[in-house]
Amino acid sequence: MAILVFVESADGKIKKTSLEAVAFAHAMGDAVTAIALGTIDSGELEAIGKYGANKVLSVADARLDQGVIKAYAAVLMQAMEAEGADTLVLANSSLGTPVGASVAIKMGASLASNVIELPKTDGGYIVKQSIYTGKAFAQVELKNEKKVIGIKKNAVELKEVGSNATVSAFAATLSEDDFGTKITATDKATGDILLPEAEIVVSGGRGMKGPEHWGMLEELAKTLGAATGCSKPVSDIGWRPHHEHVGQTGVKVAPQLYVAIGISGAIQHLAGVNSSKCIVVINKDADAPFFKAADYGIVGDAFDVVPKLTEALKAAK
Amino acid sequence: MKILVCISHVPDTTSKINFVEDNTKFDAAGVQFIIGPYDDYALARAIELKESMGATVTVLNVGQAETEPTIRKALAIGADDAIRVNAFPSDSFFVASQIAEHAKGFDLVLMGRESIDYNTGVVHSMVGEMLGIPSLSPVMKLDIEGDLVKMQREIEGGKESLEAKLPLVAGCQEPIAEWKIPNMRGIMSARTKPLNVVEPKAVDKPVDFKKYELPPAKGAVKMISEDNVSELVTLLKNEAKVL
Ligand SMILES: Cc1cc2nc3c(=O)[nH]c(=O)nc-3n(C[C@H](O)[C@H](O)[C@H](O)COP(=O)(O)OP(=O)(O)OC[C@H]3O[C@@H](n4cnc5c(N)ncnc54)[C@H](O)[C@@H]3O)c2cc1C
Ligand SMILES: Nc1ncnc2c1ncn2[C@@H]1O[C@H](COP(=O)(O)O)[C@@H](O)[C@H]1O
């Protein structure tokens, strides 16, 4: 059976997490159709083929330039029917997750979220999901014929497996009612590396003493090509914007490298970073709990260590 | 206005997670249970709306008898009455089906952005779809003007302002409201507030949680002297291979 993959874009570019969804679907072995909604450059759409899409559908309706959940779910359901697809694969995100859940209910599909590896099909259709904020995993059987699979970042390694795909237009029927929820404004950092998708994250805690000292972290982040994050108290006090708050009650990150500076390593903070490949901790207190969760640690004053680290990185380039 | 707040009963955020019975069941021994932290925001906003514009607040939990102290806590915080659907919350679809059964007739259904056990963040979307009403999450600001709801939703790297009509479902997160702590009077009055126990509706489960596992243990940390920061750069490059 065919698989449909919902791909998202940001700033006119297909998101890396969505390309991972394409690669994931390709690795599942069936024919893969990717679908993108809104106005996106055709070169970007064609390139989805490199990651394993056999074809790409484009719904170039300007009303879909904004992520209207209900309208998106309606389009995806129509595309699944038109393509005879029994499985929808997408990357879990602020848009993908609710859209996937709506499609699952509309179609009577089994829904899986935060899936971290390819399904196993010997003895039922079993996926592995991350639960308890990364503190555990569950083997979940998807029992219905139709399935919606949401994948977590890094569920699969991204590599080119093919060439450009042909892009065809897909005409969806949408009603006024599908746009009943109005997006009146979007306030989004453009050009910046988005924290939930970043490969490297530089994060600061209360040990940074005040917002005026973030220049130092930003300099380090710039040198590393990293996004910046923070602990919950830091965003609660308003030193940093809310969407940078990492942890159990904030953004869950899964970068290659997480650099924690002046963060004690409370269990709620660790819950948001435990999917990182490598963790570096800089803290002046040798007993800070974060060191237990770290791969590399430096005991020292951030105000000395961070500028030195930035210099060393620049020198090594 | 009638507000329904759906609360999950979950292990405290500091709990050590373990499984028993050949890794098929969560080990509740020694674990402290709480109202889901995000659900607590939903409840706090509901109480604020009740105070500012007049509303009744009903809390709903899908859970077995052991969740009653958690439900009483929500009543102590200020909810007027409660429903407990007497069943183990086996999966999101099951929970959403039970909530949808009781959510008809409410103007506003508030939930948390996600439960902290299964973290699927989908129950609100499912309930919205089942009832044919809008569902938005994670909502960090929610105000009501007539039948119009003005909201702010967090998206990757920023936020989105939205408007939709009542009735609707919202999955909440900070800073929508400040967590509320029950006072003595609240705790006393909670004891006599109605807590109705109802039996679940039968549903075919689309998923089955078979087995659980813990992540592999972490290797030891390698400490580097603060006078030798360039060694860290070398290790990140050559050993960890993350640069
Ligand atoms: C239900 C619940 C949910 C929560 N969710 C989250 C969450 O999602 N994310 C989160 O982060 N927290 C969360 N918390 C809060 C969490 O428990 C901690 O309070 C918080 O993470 C601490 O933040 P911090 O490490 O920045 O501050 P602190 O604990 O104050 O630590 C500051 C650290 O900086 C170090 N330091 C000080 N000066 C320097 C210096 N000059 N150089 C180097 N190091 C220095 C100190 O040694 C210390 O280790 C939650 C709490 C609860 C109860
Ligand atoms: N057993 C439950 N009873 C009532 N509400 C629940 C239950 N489980 C989850 N919810 C609600 O659904 C939201 C999203 O949960 P989830 O989709 O599991 O992440 C939670 O924040 C709660 O508001």
pLDDT at A191: 62
* Ligand lying closest to the C-alpha of residue B179: 1
Q: Ligand 2: which atom is nearest the Cα of residue B42?
A: 23
For residue A273, pLDDT beyond 70: yes
pLDDT at A155: 87
For residue A241, pLDDT beyond 80: yes
Alpha-carbon torsion (B169, B175, B176, B181), positive or negative: positive
Q: What is the pTM of this model?
A: 0.91
Query: How confident is residue B218, by pLDDT bands cut at 50, 70 and 90?
Result: confident
- What is residue B209's DSSP assignment? E
Query: How confident is residue A190, by pLDDT bands cut at 50, 70 and 90?
Result: low
pLDDT at A269: 97
B90, two tokens? 């086996």
Query: How confident is residue B157, by pLDDT bands cut at 50, 70 and 90?
Result: confident
**CB A232 near ligand 1, within 6 Å:** yes
**What are the residue ranges of helices labelled H in chain B?**
37-53, 68-77, 92-103, 123-131, 184-190, 229-238
Q: How far is CA A21 from CA A27, A90, B96, B181, B209, in A?
A: 10, 5, 26, 42, 23
Mean pLDDT of B238-243: 94
Q: Give me the residue from B92, B129, B165 closest to A106, CB to CB.
A: B129
CA-based nearest residue to A231, from A258, A264, A254 = A264
Q: For chain A, what is the mean pLDDT? A: 94
For residue A1, pLDDT beyond 80: no
For residue A157, pLDDT beyond 70: yes
Cα(A285)–Cα(A291) distance, rounded to whole angstroms?
10
Contact A124, A39 (CB under 8 A): no
Instruction: For residue A14, give the H/E element and its range.
Output: strand A13-14
- β A13-14/A9-10 pair status: antiparallel
For residue A196, pLDDT beyond 90: no
For residue A100, pLDDT beyond 70: yes
pLDDT at A243: 87
Q: Give me the residue from A113, A195, A274 closest to B122, CB to CB.
A: A113
pLDDT at B9: 97
Instruction: For residue A222, give the H/E element and its range.
Output: helix A214-224
Give the A window 258-317 contacts with B, CB below 8 Å.
267-268, 271, 274, 277-278, 280-281, 291-301, 304-305, 308-309, 312-313, 315-316
- Cis, bond preceding B167 (omega within 30 deg of 0): yes
CB contact A158 to B (< 8 Å): no
Give the residue carrying structure tokens 């292990």: B11
pLDDT at B151: 97
Classify each residue of A70-79 as buried b or exposed e, where b means 16 or more C-beta atoms within 10 Å of its C-beta. bbbbbbbbbb
Residue B221, min C-alpha distance to chain A (Å): 5
Cα(B200)–Cα(A157) distance, rounded to whole angstroms?
42
Cα(A292)–Cα(A259) distance, rounded to whole angstroms?
14
For residue B40, pLDDT beyond 80: yes
pLDDT at B223: 97
Percent of chain B with pLDDT over 90: 90
Query: How confident is residue B217, by pLDDT bands cut at 50, 70 and 90?
Result: confident
Query: How confident is residue A194, by pLDDT bands cut at 50, 70 and 90?
Result: confident
Residue count (chain A): 317
Interchain CB distance below 8 Å, B218 and A293: yes
Residue bearing the bigger pLDDT, B119 or A263: A263
H helices, E strands: number in chain B:
6, 15
Mean pLDDT of A106-124: 95
Q: For B119-155, how does the pLDDT look when each residue is reduced to its tens digit (9 = 90+)?
A: 889 999 999 999 999 999 999 999 999 889 999 999 8
Residue bearing the bigger pLDDT, A206 or A155: A206
